[in-house]
Amino acid sequence: MNAHVSKLGDVTLSVLPPVARFNLRIAPDDLKAASGAFGLELPTGVGQGAHKGSRSAWCMGPDEWLLHAPEAQQDAIETAFAGIRQTAAHSLVVISDREITYGLSGPRATELLTTGCPIDLSRIAVGNAKRTVFDYAQVVLIRDGETDWRLEVWRSFAPHVEALLSTAQHEFESGF
């Protein structure tokens, strides 16, 4: 896996810088405490995203959230959640090093993702996210704009996903 940017035709594919990434599991009744600890109101609809300053959160299930923040804030976030543990039982797992994030942008970025993703990507609103698969690798797709996406994939699957994206990108460029 190469930390690079490739531009072929209408799509730019890049490996994005690391972020502090967390998986939060908490009962919906304790969401107010978790929102306070993270510093933004966590969304409640599955797939919905919330963003405030440099922090973002996506609801991935009825009691599961994906949280992103700058790497330098990781310890402060862990400390804030430790502070609510006695009154709001939860599991906060740091998954920062587990995943690689690819950025895809350009007029055909959505089409490029469809080469390995079986869901209707038009149903993901800007700012929202969806857990799905790319080929056989579990991924999280985050839609940052009409033609801008982030694809988060486990490090162990990243070379496979990157190779598929690059192959599809080359096929797009050659007119297939």
| Residue ranges with strand state E in the chain | 5-8, 11-15, 20-26, 49-52, 55-61, 64-69, 90-94, 99-105, 129-134, 137-145, 148-154
Token output for 171: 């096929």
Provide the β-strand partners of residue 23: 66, 93
Domains in the chain: ranges and CATH: 5-16+98-174 (3.30.1360.120), 20-94 (3.30.70.1520)
Q: Which residue shows structure tokens 């690391």?
A: 18
- pLDDT per residue, tens digit, the chain (176 aa), is 445 667 767 889 999 999 999 999 999 999 999 999 999 999 999 999 999 999 999 999 999 999 999 999 999 999 999 999 999 999 999 999 999 999 999 999 999 999 999 999 999 999 999 999 999 999 999 999 999 999 999 999 999 999 999 888 888 777 65
